[in-house]
């Protein structure tokens, strides 16, 4: 059966660590045909169905460089004519991503099977999705108000300030008890009250890593990837130099996963990446969760195999 991956341009993939590539490789190993397009290729016209214009049918070459794939054919493909559509476009969740989810939802109405479900992608912004599960989070404030942020800092003394649309650790600041630069940071990130910010009490366990726990069809992968800050950096994100160390889930990690997994699965989220620092839930990632390859390389656990198993079960249901 054919699987259509809606993703960033294939030429930009870093196949030694890319999770979408790991999915493709396992799917190809099982005999699935691979199609790929970008969100910019999606098209709908009255009287027709949502299509991927010029979608590539690809074969994997087994090489690691820019030539990791070969284009076998290129053609317009109706999404409802594929076996499954996998939305794997990386954040940010901007206007164009939002519009793409509406096109994908129309494709669902026409009979396409889309993972993760487009409506669920819209309903779970990756910073704000934790609000529903506040019992697992650190003290958190979401606001445009500089006055409210100053009051929150005065209460908690050591805080993290971050934009809601950031990715890869971009725009994250720590403000300690002295409050140094709090005003400037809030003005910069909040654009003088025009942009909503999230502020959280600093969790010192970040020194041991920001753990990415993967949920596949509501079930946790038994290993997480702890992304450990290096040097004086407060952020553990791999994109800013954090060191990824795979480790077994703790009992508390499993408790959080058990609390969130069934709810998120029921909403059509086949793959979710929850971020946990110490015992604290900090984010719920649904757009394009990663870390398959790092976990597999360090532990031998076949994360991509678990994911394609879940995808095949969902398609057979």
Kindly indicate the confidence band of residue 1, based on its pLDDT and cuts at 50, 70 and 90.
confident
- Concerning whether 17 is annotated as a catalytic residue, the answer is no
Q: How far apart are CA 176 and CA 159, in angstroms?
A: 7
The 10 Å Cβ neighbour count of residue 108 is 19
* Catalytic residue of the set 25, 127, 211, 265: 127
| Arithmetic mean of pLDDT, 207-233 | 93
pLDDT at 232: 67
pLDDT at 171: 85
pLDDT at 64: 86
pLDDT at 244 over 80: yes
Which tens digits make up the pLDDT trace of 164-212? 987 777 789 999 999 999 999 999 999 989 999 999 999 999 999 999 9
DSSP 41: G
Please choose, from the candidates 76, 78, 58, the residue with its C-alpha nearest in 3D space to the C-alpha of residue 68.
58
| Arithmetic mean of pLDDT, 129-150 | 97
Ordered DSSP codes for 240-287: GTPEEEEEEPPHHHHHHHHHHHHHHHHTT-SEEEEEEETTEEEEEE-S
> Which token pair is 225?
């990837």
| Arithmetic mean of pLDDT, 295-311 | 98
Q: Give yes or no for a contact between 85 and 23, defined as CB atoms under 8 angstroms apart.
A: no
pLDDT at 167: 72
- Concerning whether 150 is annotated as a catalytic residue, the answer is no
* Catalytic residue of the set 227, 237, 253, 294: 227
Please choose, from the candidates 273, 130, 133, 128, the residue with its C-alpha nearest in 3D space to the C-alpha of residue 212.
273
Q: Give yes or no for a contact between 266 and 216, defined as CB atoms under 8 angstroms apart.
A: no
pLDDT at 237: 75
pLDDT at 231: 76
* Catalytic residue of the set 117, 201, 212, 265: 212
Range 2-118: architecture per CATH = 3-Layer(aba) Sandwich (3.40)
- Concerning whether 285 is annotated as a catalytic residue, the answer is yes
Kindly indicate the confidence band of residue 236, based on its pLDDT and cuts at 50, 70 and 90.
low
Q: How far apart are CA 87 and CA 109, in angstroms?
A: 16
Q: How far apart are CA 26 and CA 296, in angstroms?
A: 13
| Arithmetic mean of pLDDT, 120-132 | 95
Kindly indicate the confidence band of residue 241, based on its pLDDT and cuts at 50, 70 and 90.
confident
- Concerning whether 283 is annotated as a catalytic residue, the answer is yes
Q: Give yes or no for a contact between 197 and 233, defined as CB atoms under 8 angstroms apart.
A: no
> Which token pair is 139?
């003290």
- Concerning whether 162 is annotated as a catalytic residue, the answer is yes
* Catalytic residue of the set 108, 126, 253, 283: 283
Q: How far apart are CA 262 and CA 251, in angstroms?
A: 18
Classify burial at 126, counting beta carbons within 10 Å of its beta carbon; exposed 0-12, middle 13-18, buried 19 or more: buried
The share of the chain scoring above pLDDT 90, in percent, equals: 90
pLDDT at 136 over 90: yes
Domain boundaries, the chain: 2-118, 139-202, 207-316
pLDDT at 285 over 70: yes
pLDDT at 126 over 90: no
Q: How far apart are CA 210 and CA 213, in angstroms?
A: 10
The share of the chain scoring above pLDDT 70, in percent, equals: 99
Pairing of the two strands 271-277 and 280-285: antiparallel
- Domain 207-316, CATH: 3.30.470.20
pLDDT at 316: 95
Identical fold for domains 139-202 and 207-316, yes or no, is no
Please choose, from the candidates 289, 276, 206, 214, the residue with its C-alpha nearest in 3D space to the C-alpha of residue 243.
206
CATH class given for the domain over 139-202: alpha beta
Q: Give yes or no for a contact between 46 and 53, defined as CB atoms under 8 angstroms apart.
A: no
The 10 Å Cβ neighbour count of residue 316 is 6
What's the whole-model pTM score? 0.94
């Amino acid at each position: 059966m054919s699987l259509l991956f809606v993703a960033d341009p294939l030429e930009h993939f870093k196949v030694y660590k890319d999770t979408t590539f790991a999915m493709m490789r396992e799917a190809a190993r099982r005999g699935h045909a691979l199609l790929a397009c970008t969100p910019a290729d999606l098209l709908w016209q009255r009287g027709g169905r949502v299509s991927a214009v010029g979608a590539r049918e690809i074969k994997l070459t087994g090489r690691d460089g820019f030539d990791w794939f070969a284009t076998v054919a290129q053609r317009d493909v109706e999404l409802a004519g594929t076996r499954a559509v996998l939305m794997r476009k990386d954040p940010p969740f901007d206007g164009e991503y939002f519009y793409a989810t509406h096109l994908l939802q129309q494709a669902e109405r026409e009979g396409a099977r889309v993972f993760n479900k487009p409506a669920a992608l819209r309903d779970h912004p990756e910073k704000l999705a934790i609000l529903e599960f506040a019992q697992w989070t650190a003290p958190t404030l979401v606001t445009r108000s500089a006055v409210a942020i100053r009051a929150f800092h005065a209460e908690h003394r050591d805080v993290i300030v971050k934009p809601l649309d950031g990715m890869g650790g971009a725009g994250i600041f720590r403000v300690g008890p002295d409050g140094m630069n709090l005003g400037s940071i809030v003005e910069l990130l909040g654009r003088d009250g025009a942009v909503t910010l999230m502020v959280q009490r600093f969790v010192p366990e970040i020194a041991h890593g920001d753990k990415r726990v993967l949920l596949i069809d509501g079930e946790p992968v038994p290993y997480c990837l702890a992304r450990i800050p290096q040097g004086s950096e407060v952020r553990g994100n791999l994109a800013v130099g954090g060191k990824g160390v795979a480790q077994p889930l703790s009992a508390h990690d499993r408790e959080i996963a058990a609390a969130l997994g069934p709810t998120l699965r029921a909403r059509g989220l086949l793959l979710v990446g929850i971020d946990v620092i110490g015992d604290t839930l900090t984010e719920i990632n649904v757009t394009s969760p990663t870390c398959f390859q790092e976990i597999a390389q360090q532990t031998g656990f076949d994360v991509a195999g678990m994911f394609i198993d879940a995808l095949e079960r969902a398609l057979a249901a």
